[in-house]
């Protein structure tokens, strides 16, 4: 049985005070309302991690995540954050390869393969993002493009290490646009990705890999998306900044 995960990517939003309020609201709502076997993950800005970690405490259904890390373990990398620093404040998950990092910071599939290694070796769980542009979809190259992202960034991993990965399929045209992939479009891609994983690592590993959907997911469309057989939860941007919406998405199974 693969894990159901709903992760919130706060991106570069919220002062520390606002982040503490948001996290406190989410932790309380989850404790009182979330009955299903879903893991909620709060991927906050670095500066919030330590405070949010204390708010989460030992809450069972919520974990802490980061939105990025450096690929080196330590040293002269001004302004960067290492995996050991993340671990020291209780981080368990790290988003890697978000399309905004690929686009604005030039992160390539090859570069991300190195970051994936660093994160796994530290004992953290990568949430590896993949997804195509609208132009790529319109010329019918989306399946090849996205499966290739997995091949180039993840398929060097051993079976044991691959089984530690969480994947998030995020069509770029759906991120922050209010346009969600239809449940059929999302399911079709998730199925392709699972088949691609099965070809390399076998059915058992593919069946155990959590593949999340991301892209304008909200409390209204989450239930339809999560009902698809290959969709194991969501990576949520805008709607993760509202406690009520985020928790309602978590309750959409």
* Residues taking part in catalysis: 98, 170
Question: CB of residue 14 vs ligand PEP: minimum separation in angstroms?
Answer: 14
Cβ–Cβ < 8 Å for 9, 240: yes
C-beta of 204: minimal distance to ligand PEP in Å?
29
Q: How far is the CB of 9 from ligand PEP (least distance, A)?
A: 5
Q: Which CB atom, from 65 or from 237, has the smaller least distance to ligand PEP? A: 237
The footprint of ligand PEP on residues 6-25 (CB under 6 A) is 9
Using CB positions, name the residue nearest to ligand PEP: 237
Residues in the chain: 253
Instruction: Tell me how far, at minimum, the Cβ of 8 lies from ligand PEP, in Å.
Output: 9
Q: For residue 224, give the H/E element and its range.
A: helix 222-226
Strands 91-96 and 166-169: unpaired
Q: Does 45 bind ligand PEP (CB under 6 A)?
A: no
CA–CA distance, 112 with 115 (Å, rounded to integer) = 5
Which of 236, 243, 249, 251 touches ligand PEP (CB under 6 A)? 236
**Cβ-based nearer residue to ligand PEP, 9 or 14:** 9
The answer to whether 237 contacts ligand PEP (rule: CB under 6 A) is yes
What CA–CA distance (Å, rounded) separates 235 from 252? 14
10 neighbors 44 (Cβ within 8 angstroms): yes
Which two tokens mark 237? 């941007």
Contacts with ligand PEP by CB under 6 A: the residue count is: 13
Sorted by sequence, the CB contacts under 8 Å of residue 51 that are 6+ apart come out as 16, 19, 20, 23
Binding footprint of ligand PEP on the chain (CB under 6 A): 9, 170, 175-176, 214-217, 235-239
């Amino acid at each position: 049985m693969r894990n159901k995960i709903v992760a919130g990517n706060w991106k570069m939003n919220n002062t520390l005070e606002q982040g503490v309020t948001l996290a406190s609201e989410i932790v309380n709502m989850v404790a009182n309302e979330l009955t299903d076997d879903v893991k909620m993950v709060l991927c906050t800005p670095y500066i919030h991690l330590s405070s949010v970690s204390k708010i989460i405490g030992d809450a069972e259904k919520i974990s802490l995540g980061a939105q990025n890390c450096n690929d080196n373990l330590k040293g002269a990398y001004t302004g960067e954050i290492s995996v050991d620093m993340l671990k020291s404040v209780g981080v368990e998950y790290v988003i890697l390869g978000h399309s905004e990092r690929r686009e604005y910071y030039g992160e390539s599939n090859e570069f991300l393969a190195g970051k994936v290694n660093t994160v796994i070796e530290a004992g953290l769980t990568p949430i590896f993002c993949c997804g195509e542009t609208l132009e790529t979809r319109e010329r019918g190259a989306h399946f090849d493009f996205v499966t290739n992202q997995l091949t180039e960034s993840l398929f060097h991993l051993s079976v044991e290490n691959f089984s530690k990965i969480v994947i998030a399929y995020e069509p770029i045209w759906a991120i922050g646009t209010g346009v969600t992939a239809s449940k059929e479009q999302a399911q079709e891609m998730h199925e392709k990705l699972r088949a691609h994983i099965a070809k390399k690592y076998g059915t058992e590993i593919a069946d155990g890999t959590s593949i999340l959907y991301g892209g304008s997911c909200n409390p209204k469309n989450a239930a339809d998306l999560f009902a698809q057989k290959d969709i194991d939860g969501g990576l949520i941007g805008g709607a993760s900044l509202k406690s009520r919406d985020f928790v309602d998405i978590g309750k959409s199974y």
